[in-house]
A and B are shown apart, each in its own frame.
Chain A
């Protein structure tokens, strides 16, 4: 016998120990699709809600360059407001999304007077003359201040704003750098901060640090991927422009150097004209290619579009001695995409299949409503197939097996599929033909006739 459990957080208001509820809530931030700011706010909420650690207010300072800057101060502005807010957060069944919404509301109130007050605060993170709260960040230590008004190393401005005798600074850091500080207090209940609170807050601090670090790395990785794609693209363009330019220049020079060579005159001018046409085509294809990414995906009927494309392909296939087998499920839901671009992507794949398949072979197009959310289009040929090596390079800019191909075709298809929230997969072995599978999102989930 087996038992299966979901990775669900214990209820915010539950019978579970509050430490467990709190930690599971914070752990979720790694997997939530919200912004770093939103997720950090949930961590602050977890620290301040009655059923979390139970601090009254939480301030977040984030490191920016060599400064620590005030960002957000989450908490009630008065004892009365405290009661209402904590009631909301103690509602049974409240989950991550509700907390995010609640926080957005809290910060968008007409006067988020708390955050506004700490935003002008900035503290140097340099070793000299460290003051609270920067000291906690730089030393990577939790600092519990018991008698704030007696301490000289607390910034008077900060003290004036926080206006309590006791508060706790929790540093946020990654392996390499200081990320920020959370300052916690019990302004309304006046409850003393106990060692167990410090322990729990330190654990939250570590996890929040991990979270910020992971998010930063993730962002950097995406940026690097984007830069790599851009680099690849610009290399491709350079290549595509430079070759015709060299030819144009070379054949022009020949004419200039020997103006009386009648044989070369016509031939060279023809070559030059052809190369200029190539450049023009490149420009057209690139403009088109770049537009795909910005096209909006709207619901449209794949059926009629497909029929038109298949009719024109069928003629080409017949003349090459290929069989075209079509199998389209009825009815089909509307799919999401841009009809023109999707049409071109399909034409592209069909023309590839046509080229790859020898006389006597067969190209199969199968469309099916796989699941409520997905329509699948398979384009299969009995051609020469793709080696693992070629499969790896298939969707990169420069790659083309055709002598005169620009290598943009499959990348174009991929871009079209990404732009409409779908994807493309390829299955093939050398000599075994190839199968290109397109996944389109349906515009409505679920069959109406089911």
Chain B
């Protein structure tokens, strides 16, 4: 079973993603901030990371930089409410940039695509 790490500071969204993606057959771990994400990454191996970018404390862009230094081989999806961050060059380091929407189809499709590679 493929393991996903979701970094999301919105409580309700954490729950939603966890339930919806578990149903797709993934093992899902959710954390609320970048610190917890790094802890989890040091503890276990994930196949894909989904992260927001603006969060309390260390933000997602910083997190991506650190993950890249840590494990270069894990695909990263930025999943955020902000459209404008697409142009931020640090977000280019991620494999996909998804703007949160009322449908989770795009997110699900992207996860599938990246895990197939």
Interface string of B1-32 (1 = CB under 8 A from A): 00000000110110110011000000000001
Q: Report if B82 contacts A (CB, 8 A).
A: yes
State in angstroms the CA–CA spacing of A104 and B116 once bound together.
Answer: 76
Interface residues of A in 401-430 (CB under 8 A from B): 401-403, 405
Q: Please give, as numbers and ranges, the residues of chain A lying within 8 Å of B32 by CB-CB distance.
A: 403
A239 CB contact (under 8 Å) in B19, B56, B82: B82
Given A239-B81, A239-B82, A401-B56, CB of A245 within 8 Å of CB of B12: no
Nearest A residue to B13 via CB reads A247
Nearest B residue to A248 via CB reads B102
Task: Please determine whether A271 and B19 come into contact, CB atoms closer than 8 angstroms.
Answer: no
Task: Please determine whether B56 and A243 come into contact, CB atoms closer than 8 angstroms.
Answer: no
Q: Report if A210 contacts B (CB, 8 A).
A: no
Interface size class of A (residues with CB under 8 A): 20 to 34
Q: Please give, as numbers and ranges, the residues of chain A lying within 8 Å of B12 by CB-CB distance.
A: 244, 247, 251, 271, 274-275
Interface residues of A in 216-266 (CB under 8 A from B): 231, 235, 238-239, 242-251, 254
Task: Please determine whether B102 and A245 come into contact, CB atoms closer than 8 angstroms.
Answer: yes
Q: Please give, as numbers and ranges, the residues of chain B lying within 8 Å of A403 by CB-CB distance.
A: 9, 32, 56
Nearest B residue to A244 via CB reads B12
Nearest B residue to A390 via CB reads B57
Q: Report if A398 contacts B (CB, 8 A).
A: yes
Most chain B beta-carbon neighbours within 10 Å: one of A244, A247, A402:
A247
Q: Report if A400 contacts B (CB, 8 A).
A: yes
Task: Please determine whether B84 and A250 come into contact, CB atoms closer than 8 angstroms.
Answer: no
Task: Please determine whether A246 and B13 come into contact, CB atoms closer than 8 angstroms.
Answer: yes
Q: Please give, as numbers and ranges, the residues of chain A lying within 8 Å of B99 by CB-CB distance.
A: 242
B100 CB contact (under 8 Å) in A243, A271, A275, A401: A243
CB distance from B16 to the nearest CB of A (A): 4
State in angstroms the CA–CA spacing of A246 and B11 once bound together.
Answer: 12
Q: Report if B103 contacts A (CB, 8 A).
A: yes
Task: Please determine whether A250 and B56 come into contact, CB atoms closer than 8 angstroms.
Answer: no
Task: Please determine whether A235 and B102 come into contact, CB atoms closer than 8 angstroms.
Answer: no
Q: Please give, as numbers and ranges, the residues of chain B lying within 8 Å of A239 by CB-CB distance.
A: 54, 81-82
State in angstroms the CA–CA spacing of A250 and B11 once bound together.
Answer: 13
Q: Please give, as numbers and ranges, the residues of chain A lying within 8 Å of B57 by CB-CB distance.
A: 401
Nearest A residue to B32 via CB reads A403
Nearest B residue to A271 via CB reads B12
Q: Report if B66 contacts A (CB, 8 A).
A: no
Task: Please determine whether B9 and A250 come into contact, CB atoms closer than 8 angstroms.
Answer: no
Task: Please determine whether A238 and B81 come into contact, CB atoms closer than 8 angstroms.
Answer: yes
Q: Report if B65 contacts A (CB, 8 A).
A: no
Q: Please give, as numbers and ranges, the residues of chain B lying within 8 Å of A231 by CB-CB distance.
A: 84
Q: Please give, as numbers and ranges, the residues of chain A lying within 8 Å of B56 by CB-CB distance.
A: 400-403, 405
Q: Please give, as numbers and ranges, the residues of chain A lying within 8 Å of B101 by CB-CB distance.
A: 246
Q: Please give, as numbers and ranges, the residues of chain B lying within 8 Å of A275 by CB-CB distance.
A: 12
CB distance from A150 to the nearest CB of B (A): 62
Given A243-B10, A246-B13, A274-B12, CB of A235 within 8 Å of CB of B84: yes
State in angstroms the CA–CA spacing of A238 and B56 once bound together.
Answer: 17
Given A239-B54, A398-B54, A401-B56, CB of A246 within 8 Å of CB of B102: yes
B103 CB contact (under 8 Å) in A243, A249, A271, A274: A249
CB distance from A96 to the nearest CB of B (A): 45
State in angstroms the CA–CA spacing of A243 and B81 once bound together.
Answer: 7
CB distance from A233 to the nearest CB of B (A): 12
State in angstroms the CA–CA spacing of A251 and B20 once bound together.
Answer: 10
CB distance from B95 to the nearest CB of A (A): 21
Interface residues of A in 20-48 (CB under 8 A from B): none
- Cβ contacts A to B, 15 pairs, < 8 Å: A231-B84, A238-B82, A238-B83, A239-B81, A242-B99, A246-B16, A246-B81, A247-B10, A250-B20, A250-B104, A251-B16, A254-B19, A271-B12, A400-B56, A403-B56
Besides A246-B16, A401-B57, A403-B9, 11 new A-B residue pairs in contact (Cβ under 8 A), listed by A number = A235-B82, A239-B54, A239-B81, A246-B81, A246-B100, A246-B102, A247-B13, A251-B12, A251-B16, A271-B15, A402-B56
Residues of A that sit less than 8 Å from B by CB:
231, 235, 238-239, 242-251, 254, 271, 274-275, 398, 400-403, 405
Closest 3 CB pairs between A and B?
A249-B102, A242-B81, A247-B12
Residues of B that sit less than 8 Å from A by CB:
9-10, 12-13, 15-16, 19-20, 32, 54, 56-57, 81-84, 99-104
